Structure 1
Amino acid sequence: MESLFVMCTRILWNTNTVATSVGRTMDWAESTEPRIYILPKGLARDGGRVGPVNVIAENPAKWTSKYGSVVVSAYGLASVDGINEVGLGMHLLFLTATDFGPRDPEKAGVHAGLWGQYLLDNASTVEEALKLHEQIQPVMVEHGGFKTSLHLAIEDATGDSAIIEYAAGELKIYHGPEHRVMTNDPPYDEQLRQLEKWNFKDATRETPLPGNVNPIDRFVRANYFLQTLREPQDERAAIATVFSIARNASVPFNAPYKRVGTIYDTEYRTVTNLNGRRYFFELTTSPNVIWVDLAKVDLSAGSDVQVLDPDNIELSGSVSQRFEKAAQPF
């Protein structure tokens, strides 16, 4: 049984005064069939269903979205990245050690593909999201021979951040603006211990850096380059800066991975301006960056769910008005 989503990197730049910005890469062995969705507030959700299939028999979470959001889906079954209208962002990444523990029917169950969406729908800040998280339990699900072995990063426009993991059935939360980078294996506490081995004081181009594509190497590199950043002049510079680090942490096409013959290329990158509520997307097979301005899309209750396929070479720049009504609600 393999994981549904694989190696990725999340990077939060919350130390500048222009735009609290966060980037992520999506790395996987095939296309995750990404679609960008505009999800208005007022949508009824069932955290116990994957499409038409009931996957949580007892006490599934059911809610109506309080906030609208823009998200990227995977395989049409999960929200893996996105931002809501009040500036809360979320990112689901792979973690081999994920173990949500035995089902606790005292807590409302949310299948892992909707874990981040639950928080986007209901919370405005990291603090609020963590309080809401006490009421739910993510549930591992499987689809097409893959399982949702995931951990979650969230952040808000103030620069607050949290990384949420379940390992050996135990919930671990790392809360604070200092938690800026997340990759994959091993669990986050061990990644932090690995980072302590590196001294980047008075760094120059001669400073040695790990250069391969495994999660620890990417974790160290992203942390290193984050600490070198200068204050950006404007939003454009801030977004470009985070994209530059995301590209450095990306997996080149056909780079050897965990086993001989396996590859997990970076499929796309996103960068979000949490203050400005703008969501930027870069498909690695396209020369163009596109973006959605949440202030220019309809997130009001009762409006249509809208979708955009980013795999269109003609798309470039603002695509806020290029979405179409979704054939069926996501």
Structure 2
Amino acid sequence: MTRKTIAFGMGAALLGLAAAGLPAQTCTRILWNTNKLAVVAGRTMDWPESTEPILTVFPRGLTHNGGYVGAHQTETVNPAIWTSRYGSIGVTIYGIGTADSLNERGLAGHMLYLQATDFGPRDPSKPAVHAGLWLQYLVDNAANVDEALALLDKIQIRPAQAHGHQATVHLALEDASGDSAIVEYVAGKPLIHHGRQYRVMTNDPSYDQQLALLKKFDFSHPNDEIPLPGNVNPRDRFQRASYFAAMLPEPKDQRQAIAGILAIARNASVPFGAPYHQFGVYNTEYRTAIDLTDRRYFFELSTAPNLIWADLDKFDLSPGAPVMELNPENIDLSGNVTTDFKKADKAPF
């Protein structure tokens, strides 16, 4: 596995998930690991229709099969089968995988779109995990970024198809220590940017190219006259989020820390009706924020007036405990919704 570390003070880390033939999820991820209070991360999910997001709590001891996309087996030769070591909370997408997640050890991750993604030909000697379960596999089995990256050497990520569309994704990881990694598969090879400096990420072009474009901007003397790129394409969002994230003031409490990360996410969000080249029109569907230090998960649906959150430590994560779910489409939800989760009839995957 190729690991690339680029010394750049305003690096980035965000991922996107999309399906070919539909407008791309051109999401944004921001990590704030430079304050003294807590490690916090935020992301936007951009999509032209509902991804059917369900907030889901997974206990330890669940068995998953990386060869199944929903009820359809896509990998018959050496699919990865694992039992989760850690409990987690996250947002499922179309009921086939996890787009955003935090586990009980403080490892979090985000899947987002990268058009350049190429997982390469199948290597049957490695257990297969389809792209929709890529993140779930890591939060199930790793306690931090280092462990997650080591696990990637042991499996092969495979394309996933849902609703008749092919998914292409890259992944951003962070942990409670503030470590960060961006994982992309380009031309069949894994490319990893590993280090605390990779705090902001969007989508295409590949991460190397995004960093090169960012270097052309002089943000050393920030002021309100700097002509920041203001459109909704991934390059502009990458540069804008990097600029504003670098100036977040030291928070006094968790409320200020979450407000700070959401302020950047909202600035990088896509307004309703905004055009996007080659993909038509898409909007920000929802935003999440994660306090990795205190393991608190925040969710904000763009069409709902309220921010909601849940405390992962308050759930029963022991083996045999039920999977718990919450549908965020209920606009009556507000504030701490930990006790509003209900037992799922069965695990979604």
Using the size of structure 2 for normalisation, the TM-score is: 0.93
SS of corresponding position for 2:239: helix
Please tell me whether residue 140 in structure 1 is matched to residue 156 in structure 2.
Answer: no
Q: Could you tell me how far apart the structure 2 residues matched to 1:189 and 1:327 are?
A: 44
Q: CA deviation at 1:201?
A: 1.5
Report the residue type matching 2:72 in the other structure: V
Q: CA deviation at 1:306?
A: 1.1
Q: Could you tell me how far apart the structure 1 residues matched to 2:119 and 2:22 are?
A: 14
SS of corresponding position for 2:276: coil
Q: Could you tell me how far apart the structure 2 residues matched to 1:81 and 1:272 are?
A: 10
Q: CA deviation at 1:83?
A: 0.1
Match of 1:204 among 196, 215, 223: 223
Please tell me whether residue 57 in structure 1 is matched to residue 46 in structure 2.
Answer: no
Corresponding residue of 1:309: 327
Please tell me whether residue 323 in structure 1 is matched to residue 341 in structure 2.
Answer: yes
Corresponding residue of 1:84: 103
Corresponding residue of 2:277: 258
Please tell me whether residue 295 in structure 1 is matched to residue 313 in structure 2.
Answer: yes
**1:269-284 equivalent positions in 2, closer than 5 A:** 269-284=287-302
Q: Could you tell me how far apart the structure 1 residues matched to 2:278 and 2:153 are?
A: 38
Corresponding residue of 1:123: 142
Q: Could you tell me how far apart the structure 1 residues matched to 2:71 and 2:51 are?
A: 20
Corresponding residue of 1:184: 203
Q: Could you tell me how far apart the structure 2 residues matched to 1:141 and 1:290 are?
A: 30
Aligned residues: 329
- Unmatched 5+ residue regions in structure 1? none
Q: Could you tell me how far apart the structure 1 residues matched to 2:219 and 2:194 are?
A: 24
Q: CA deviation at 1:156?
A: 0.1
SS of corresponding position for 2:281: coil
Q: Could you tell me how far apart the structure 1 residues matched to 2:220 and 2:255 are?
A: 28
Cα pair 2:23 2:48 within 8 Å, conserved: no
Corresponding residue of 2:265: 246
Please tell me whether residue 10 in structure 1 is matched to residue 29 in structure 2.
Answer: yes
Report the residue type matching 2:320 in the other structure: G
Match of 2:253 among 234, 258, 262: 234
Q: Could you tell me how far apart the structure 1 residues matched to 2:287 and 2:160 are?
A: 25
Corresponding residue of 2:17: none
Q: Could you tell me how far apart the structure 1 residues matched to 2:264 and 2:289 are?
A: 11
Corresponding residue of 2:118: 99
Q: Which 4+ residue blocks in structure 1 deviate beyond 3 angstroms?
A: none
Q: Could you tell me how far apart the structure 2 residues matched to 1:130 and 1:211 are?
A: 34
Corresponding residue of 1:159: 178
Q: CA deviation at 1:259?
A: 3.7
Q: CA deviation at 1:5?
A: 5.8
Q: Could you tell me how far apart the structure 2 residues matched to 1:238 and 1:52 are?
A: 40
Deviation readout 1:90-135 (Å, 9 max, x if unpaired):
1000000100000011111000000000000000010011111110
CA RMSD of aligned residues (A): 1.1
Q: Could you tell me how far apart the structure 1 residues matched to 2:163 and 2:315 are?
A: 34
Cα pair 2:172 2:180 within 8 Å, conserved: yes
Q: Could you tell me how far apart the structure 2 residues matched to 1:218 and 1:21 are?
A: 19
Q: Could you tell me how far apart the structure 1 residues matched to 2:306 and 2:242 are?
A: 26
Deviation readout 1:182-201 (Å, 9 max, x if unpaired):
10000111000000110011
